[in-house]
Amino acid sequence: MYKRILLAYDGSTTGQKALLDCRDIAQWSQASLTLIAVMPLQRQVVAAEGVIYEKSVIEEDRDKYRGILNDGLRRLMESGHEAQGEVLYGETVDEIARYARQLEADLIVVGHKHLEGWAARWWRGSVSKSLIADAPCSVLVVITR
């Protein structure tokens, strides 16, 4: 039985489907829910002086990911579930796996959308596929097409 469920939430359609499935599993197993949004490593701006991190871009990204997290928490609360949440910073797969270990999660839930065409799949890679290899616990991949 799952006692601690970690949902990596990005606000996408697949993320929203994963949120609904996660909510149902948590209710069924009476598990605690933790929601995370992972902000990728900072975008770089190349200038004549070298590579710099533009502060306004970083703040915009932080606000965006806080908004994504708050949206997910609100959706869970509206459906009668308590959840805690946090914005993490770094490589998506590494941060999800690290936080799952820290939380001692029994289950990680992520959304996944099938990409059309081999080039799109090759270029973009798959967070869910990489996460399965690195996760310290079971991973539920919620698929949408």
* Phi–psi pair at 90, nearest 5 degrees: 145, -160
Residue 108 CB: number of other CB atoms within 10 A?
A: 26
Task: Give the model's pLDDT for residue 85.
Answer: 95
Distance CA(33)–CA(85), nearest Å, equals 9
Checking phi first, is residue 141 left (phi over 0); if not, alpha (psi -120 to 50) or beta? beta
Q: What is the CATH number that goes with domain 4-144?
A: 3.40.50.620
Work out the average pLDDT over 43-47: 54
Task: Give the model's pLDDT for residue 119.
Answer: 46
Domain definitions of the chain by residue range: 4-144
Terminal CA-CA length for the chain: 29
Which of the pair, 137 or 46, is modelled with greater confidence? Answer: 137
Distance CA(118)–CA(122), nearest Å, equals 6
Task: Give the model's pLDDT for residue 14.
Answer: 78
Amino acid at the residue 1 = M
Contact by Cβ (8 Å): 132, 141: yes
Check pLDDT > 70 for residue 122: no
- pTM score, two decimals? 0.81
Task: Give the model's pLDDT for residue 121.
Answer: 45
